[in-house]
Amino acid sequence: MKRSLKRQVRRRLPVRKTRRSPVPAGSPAAVTTSAVALEEKRAAGFRLGFDYGYSWGRSNSVLIQAPPQVTNVWDIRVLFVMSGKGVPYSPIDQAVYEALQANARECIAVSPFGPILELVDQMRPELVLVLEGMELPVQVVDALRMRGVRTAVWFTDDPYYVDVTEKIAVHYDDVFTLELNCVPFYQSIGCPRVHYLPLGANPGVFRPQPVETTYRRDVSFIGSAYWNRVSFVSRILPALESCNSMISGWWWERLPAFTRLGPRIQSGVWLTPEETAKFYYGSRIVLNVHRAYDDESYNCNVRKIPALSVNPRTFEIAASGAFQMTDERSDLLNYYKPGEEVVTFASPEDCMEKIRHYLNHEDERREIALRGLRRTLADHTYHKRIQSLLSSVFADETP
């Protein structure tokens, strides 16, 4: 009974809560706490600045040591017919035109809506090269061939628009496609000379460069919100929300978590190549997610020709000196070494795991980015691509 009574008494006793007295503002303790917090911020800022500065120095050394672009100028005149489609094709138009100017004795660029036949009659070019070709009437191409002019087209959106390009391709002497899987397709419909030629990078635009803090991110993705990308981003939200991330491009308002990402996402925005290059280099990780070949909402690919080859963004990210994580495509092995010059992921879960890993391994991330930059400058510029194109067209001749 006595023991039970003691327990009841103990239960009824009030619990005394001790409160920590607030540190008065201006007191020595408050000043010390503020100084410590300021010093921690200063140290974190110094580490971040050192990492960016060191990375820029290493990247710049790669630019300085890169071998010069060797040019064997072909003694030919080239009329270059641009895509005529504006953004996002205009930067590719410009890059191809500059590379042609460097590799041919004379090159003139013209819109597909311009006086092409009149220019041909005046210029008498050995080659008319058409980029993308959807805006140029095939009757003009036929008229060029009737004049004895060599014609070539470079398709930049295969295999996503083959229902359209198959009607164009048969009118040209030479067909170039950036999709390896489309070579046998064009051959099967009667094109006599088909060549595989991916796009590349313009190092005059996509290059390492010092950038302001407004361009610095932990993770970034720049591109349109095709449905497969919407699904992918929805599944890696935890990784994006846990760091300083950025998504930019058309149609991202269709993402179910659009409002949840808040300022991390910009929809309806198409960044210029110059702005894109800054975000690439300012990001610790740049994601590259290819569009799906079987998306019936946007594609014109009723045959469902699978896509094996990489998009031009692959080369542009690497040329910017950025660390790239990309989904797997079999043709990537012909251009970069996964794990050494670029990192691949097999699923959203694999992507999130690797994001966490590489955000915590600065040295490893930096070395992969530098190796990717070296490889791109050596092998994957538009200068190199145009040399390959001219060599394929004029295979029996020498520059």
35-49, 71-85, 124-138, 141-155: which has the minimum mean pLDDT?
35-49
Question: Is the confidence at residue 27, as pLDDT, over 70?
Answer: no
- The CATH number, out of the four listed (3.10.105.10, 3.20.20.70, 2.40.170.20, 3.40.50.2000), of the domain defined by the range 213-379: 3.40.50.2000
pLDDT of residue 16 exceeding 70, the answer is no
Q: Is the pLDDT of residue 395 over 90?
A: no
DSSP string of 245-267?
EEEEETTGGGSTTHHHHGGGEEE
Q: How confident is the model at residue 54 (pLDDT cuts 50, 70, 90)?
A: confident
Burial class (CB in 10 A: 0-12, 13-18, 19+), 9: exposed
Give me the pLDDT at residue 173, please. Answer: 98
71 pLDDT more than 90: no
DSSP element (H, E) containing 36: helix 28-65
Domain with CATH 3.40.50.11930 in the chain: 74-200+382-393
Q: How far apart are CA 251 and CA 230, in angstroms?
A: 10
Residue-wise pLDDT for 237-256, tens only, equals: 999 999 999 999 999 999 99
CB 240, CB 219: distance < 8 Å: yes
Q: Specify the pLDDT at position 10.
A: 47
pLDDT at 42 over 80: no
CATH of domain 74-200+382-393: 3.40.50.11930
List all residues 6 or more positions away from 94 whose beta carbon is below 8 Å from its beta carbon. Answer: 202
Contact 140, 168 (CB under 8 A): no
Q: Where in the chain is the domain with CATH 3.40.50.2000?
A: 213-379
pLDDT at 140 over 80: yes
- Asked whether the predicted pLDDT for residue 195 surpasses 70, the reply is yes
Asked if 385 contacts 74 with a C-beta cutoff of 8 angstroms, the reply is no
C-beta atoms surrounding 198 within 10 Å: 22
Q: Distance (Å, rounded) from C-alpha 69 to C-alpha 8?
A: 91
pLDDT digits (tens, 9 = 90+) for 333-370: 999 999 999 999 999 999 999 999 999 999 999 999 99
Per residue in 286-316, pLDDT (tens digit) is 999 999 999 988 999 999 999 999 999 999 9
Whether residue 219 contacts residue 243, with contact meaning beta carbons closer than 8 Å, is answered with: yes
What pLDDT, in 10s, does the model give residues 1-14?
A: 444 444 444 444 45
Predicted pLDDT of residue 31: 59
**381 Cβ neighbours under 8 A, 6+ residues apart:** 69, 99, 200, 201, 202, 203, 319
User: Please, which pLDDT band fits residue 19 given cuts at 50, 70 and 90?
Assistant: low
The pLDDT value given to residue 21: 53
Nearest to 222 by CA among 178, 283, 163, 166: 283
Q: Where are the beta strands (DSSP E) in the chain?
A: 74-81, 104-110, 127-131, 150-155, 174-177, 194-196, 217-222, 245-249, 265-267, 283-288, 324-327, 343-345
Q: Is the pLDDT of residue 45 over 90?
A: no
